[in-house]
Every structure is written in C-alpha cells, then in structure tokens.
Amino acid sequence: MAFEWDRIYKWEENYEREISDDVDNYVCEHYGIESTDELTREQLDEIDGFRSNDLSEYSCMQIGFSNLIMRQEDVLYEREQEELAE
C-alpha cells in the first residue's frame, strides 16, 4: 500500500494560519500597535524590505509575511481611496 496522507491540506492551512498569526503579533509588538491595520505605508515598506532582502526565500515564515503584505496593501489602498474621495 502506497503512503497517503488524507486531507493534508488541513494541516497546511493550520500551519499557515499559525505562522501568519505569529508574524502579525510580532509586527504589532515591534511597532507598538494594536492591529496591523494601523501600519503606515513606510512601515509596510520596511516589512517588505525585510522579507525580500533579509529573510531566506525558503523560510517557512515567508507565507506569513506575504499574507500580511497582501492584506495590508488592500487596507492601504482603501485608506488612500477614501482620502482621495474627501
């Protein structure tokens, strides 16, 4: 019988969520904020620079940083659109 791991995607989703939560928590602690939604463009650029220049492309933490940056790009875009509309 060949080796199988049914529903392995569930394990992967759990690990990804844990890593993303850890990245979010560390970022909030580092910047002294309650929520990553409070990040500024400059802070997000710093985080992206760390991910791109200092963090190994093979690091398991990459997914957490990618999720944070993607999510916050959307938040910043919406914030900028609201400011333009005023």
pTM of this structure = 0.89
| Conformational region of residue 22, where left means phi above 0, alpha means psi within -120 to 50, and beta covers everything else | alpha
- CA dist., res. 31 & res. 34, Å (int): 9
**pLDDT for residue 76:** 92
**pLDDT for residue 68:** 98
**pLDDT for residue 20:** 98
pLDDT < 50: residue spans in the chain: none
What ranges in 1-86 are assigned the alpha helix state H? 8-31, 41-53, 62-85
